[in-house]
Structure 1
């Protein structure tokens, strides 16, 4: 059994598959952080953390439902599509706005369908609507309305399995980006501390010069009590500054710092990426309905992805299946954009 198989406890066949996944993940990581290649035994040191991350994110991706047909023809009979899209034409519009989907169909000219990720910003807000409250019709009944804004289709592949595999590796990339952002924050902090150190040193020199030149001929103390206090405070500030710089390490240690940041993030992926399920009962106006209500409504199960982005963002995600025939002509989206601009 290979070392990958020993680490993950798989048979030889499964170990080879896991080894391929680990190697693919490592390749994507070093594209984002190429200097990590210079670290001693970087592959061996990252393998355990990468394996833990792969198991975690694969579990998240595998738990997502099978793709639903995102087609205008399915809108009337699919409560989920009706909740996300105001009309059947909105489905065609969102599909047509995806340059990535168009590019994929152009590159796979024999494919009739594509599996893709549909994501949107899930929004809840309080509204006042007309309704019955305590047996009395009122015009200001408080309700919760939900909406799905900023709908995007940017990741697609030929099959559901291929799409899920790509998503797993993309999540690894996202974690690598999070690790590198920590290194960038450390670099920015180091630069700020160096600037602060230069200012403190300049201030110290200015105070020290007060006893220089002919002022020392008088025999009086060259520094006032206030100046002595200022120097003591500056000495403490300089010491704190140098301690903070020492804690960050030198620029020569940057490679090890990058590797350490990556290992820290990859070892605990759940702290940065998670998917939560939420079930809502909504009517045709996308107003939340209580379970005890007799109002006509449908149950929606949402998968909300929490991702380490700046700023942090929570998006509703699902896999969809899109037919080439539902992709509007290329000029349609451009015409709509031009009309909005004008």
Structure 2
């Protein structure tokens, strides 16, 4: 009643928060067993969704990813080597194919095009100081590992899906950290067993004839072992007990969702590129194109930075299913 009177249940009543809570328990079902898990998660989930909405809302309007637009679109030319490269990336996306198969009447789909920005120093021929030189250092820009993911029927639906996917990524990161703690617990327990065995052996030294060959610094060895044992016990205590694992999972998720800006962000970078994808001075005289890319810093293991944008894909540009298999067979042979 007090939650209702003072508006403390506002976050949990949001439809996007409800959907996110469902996705969280789908990834980490054990958190349902934690005390008041929905009440504790709802505020931080709302905060993360608000942050995700700002990031996704800053992405530019969808761009048509079609081979026919490659020649006139500097963004497509920067990311794809040829028009056929556009077709190949579309054809390699199982999500794009699957979405069109499930939506027979749709002519277009919206997806996220992600790629890894790669910059290399190269030597090229250029006029410098009034003379032609063949060893001028330039920075070459490329986009590797291009993938199209997260298909939806509209731009709005895709942006909402991206917001939910960001929440899912935070939960995956939390579960990864929990798994790392569990692995560390196992290693500490094995080390404790080893220390215990060594202390028992040390306690038996000096009996019978072994005193003739045993180390004379038994007190020093015992002190060092005791110190190691205490440090091991302190490290185990800091990880908590196995009985608290469910609470640990929930609290780890809450802690990450409470500070979303610390783990995920999107930055804008402007590039001045010539026709060979070489970085140029903005004041240069040769033909060039000014493009802006969005770099998403993702909380993956290990952390990654991907150039992302929303694209619109036409059904007519999806190659036949056999094309990918033929290309794979050609590469194998």
- TM-score, normalization by structure 1: 0.93
| Residue in structure 2 matching 1:57, options 42, 47, 52 | 52
Question: Do the aligned partners of residues 161 and 4 (structure 1) sit closer, same or farther apart at CA in structure 2, a change above 3 Å counting?
Answer: farther
Residue 71 (structure 1) aligned to one of 66, 75, 82: 66
- Which residue, out of 78, 81, 90, partners 1:83? 78
Tell me whether 1:191 sits opposite 2:192 in the alignment: no
CA distance in 1, matches of 2:89, 2:181: 40
In the alignment, which residue of structure 1 is the partner of 2:315?
Answer: 324
* Aligned twin of 1:12: none
* 1:304 maps onto 2:305 in alignment: no
- SS at the partner of 1:287? coil
Shift of 1:154: 2.0
- Structure 1 counterpart of 2:7: 6
Over residues 239-288 of structure 1, what are the superposed CA-to-partner deviations in whole Å (9 max), with x where a residue is unaligned?
A: 11111111111100101111110011000111111111000110110001
Q: What is the CA–CA distance in structure 1 between the aligned matches of 2:129 and 2:280, rounded to whole Å? A: 16
Q: Judge conservation of contact 1:210–1:222 (CA < 8 Å) in 2.
A: no
In the aligned structure 1, how far is the partner of 2:267 from the partner of 2:225?
51
Deviation at 1:3, TM superposition (A): 5.4
Query: What is the TM-score when the length of structure 2 is the normalising length?
Result: 0.95
Distance 1:232 1:181, change over 3 A: same
Aligned equivalent of 2:171, options 170, 176, 186? 176
The DSSP-based 3-state class of the residue aligned with 2:252 is helix
Unmatched tracts of structure 2, length 5 or more = none
Give, in angstroms, the shift of residue 211 of structure 1: 3.7
Determine if the alignment matches structure 1 residue 290 to structure 2 residue 285. no
Q: 2:83, 2:205 → 1: CA distance?
A: 80
How many equivalent pairs are there?
Answer: 332
Matched, 1:236 2:237: no
3-state SS in 1 of match to 2:75: helix
Poorly superposed stretches of 4+, deviation over 4 Å: 1-5, 220-224
Distance 2:205 2:295 in 1: 64
> Are the aligned partners of 1:105 and 1:111 in contact in 2 as well (CA < 8 Å)?
yes
What's 2:249 paired with? 258
Q: Secondary structure at the match of 1:76?
A: coil
* Distance in 1, Cα, partners of 2:297 & 2:19: 24
Give the aligned partner of residue 15 of structure 2: 20
Q: 1:98 to 1:307 in 2, by over 3 A?
A: same
The answer as to whether partners of 1:35 and 1:255 remain within 8 angstroms in 2 is yes
Q: Contact 1:4–1:19 at 8 Å: present in 2 too?
A: no
SS at match of 1:6: coil
Q: Secondary structure at the match of 2:71?
A: helix
Q: Does 1:106 align with 2:107?
A: no
Which segments of 5 or more consecutive residues in structure 1 lack a partner in the other structure? 10-14
Q: CA RMSD in A?
A: 2.1
Partner of 1:205: 200
Q: State the distance in 1 between where 2:289 and 2:213 align.
A: 84
Alignment correspondent of 2:137: 142
